């Protein structure tokens, strides 16, 4: 019997190894609840805000869009192999903000994302998308630590 609690699950991915554990959790949750999956990758355009638009910028942007396509395809391939419905999305902006906006706009039941589990100076210097999503989302968030 499918749960009515989870009908749409947002799985945020950056395509890295550490997010694969979060992908597995999100897919398992969808499998057990009958929820539809929304695989989301955010091209962090803030990193390019001060760079003039030139051929190098366009090339990097293209690589990031390709990375996003591959990351969401990974989620879709794993989920579709289990007969789950998946909607793939590559969006642009600040990752935490865009994940929250997408989740609210599309009435997600839960957000699933990974974390490196950094602490101290590393977290201070790098920031944490997962932490920002947890602190600011009105939608429940499941944070899954990556496998070491």
Residues in the chain: 148
- Judge whether 68 lies within some domain: yes
Say if 41 falls within a structural domain. Answer: yes
Closest CA to 31 of 87, 89, 86: 86
Residue 145 near residue 113 (C-beta atoms within 8 A) = no
Place of tokens 């289990």: 82
CATH code for the domain of 123: 3.40.50.620
Computed over every residue of the chain, the mean pLDDT equals 86
Residue spans of beta strands (DSSP E) within 24-71: 36-44
In this predicted model, what pLDDT tens digit does every residue of 55-74 receive, in sequence order?
666 777 788 889 999 999 99
pLDDT digits (tens, 9 = 90+) for 70-103: 999 999 999 999 999 999 999 999 999 999 999 9
Range of the domain at 112: 8-145
Average pLDDT of the segment spanning 136-140: 97
C-alpha–C-alpha distance, residues 74 and 76, integer Å: 5
Residue 27 belongs to some domain of the structure: yes
pLDDT at 57: 66
Is residue 2 situated within a structural domain? no
Burial class (CB in 10 A: 0-12, 13-18, 19+), 129: buried
Domains in the chain: how many in total? Answer: 1
Per-residue tokens: 27: 């897919």
Would you say residue 141 has pLDDT above 60? yes
Give me the percent of the chain exceeding a pLDDT of 90.
63
| Counts of helices then strands in the chain (DSSP H, E) | 5, 5
pTM (2 d.p.):
0.87
Determine the pLDDT at residue 69. Answer: 95
The pLDDT tens digits for 19-40 are: 899 999 999 999 999 999 999 9
């Amino acid at each position: 019997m499918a749960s009515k609690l989870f009908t749409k699950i947002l799985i945020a991915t950056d395509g890295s190894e550490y997010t694969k554990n979060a992908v597995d959790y999100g897919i398992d949750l969808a499998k057990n609840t009958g929820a539809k999956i929304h695989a989301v990758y955010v091209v962090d355009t803030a990193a390019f805000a001060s760079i003039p638009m030139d051929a190098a910028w366009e090339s990097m942007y293209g690589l990031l869009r390709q990375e996003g396509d591959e990351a969401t395809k990974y989620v879709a391939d794993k989920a579709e192999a289990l007969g789950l419905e998946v909607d793939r999305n590559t969006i642009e902006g600040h990752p935490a903000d865009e994940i929250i906006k997408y989740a609210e706009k599309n009435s997600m039941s839960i957000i699933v994302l990974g974390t490196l589990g950094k602490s101290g100076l590393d977290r201070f210097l790098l920031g944490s998308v997962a932490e920002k999503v947890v602190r600011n989302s009105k939608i429940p968030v499941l944070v899954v630590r990556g496998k070491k």
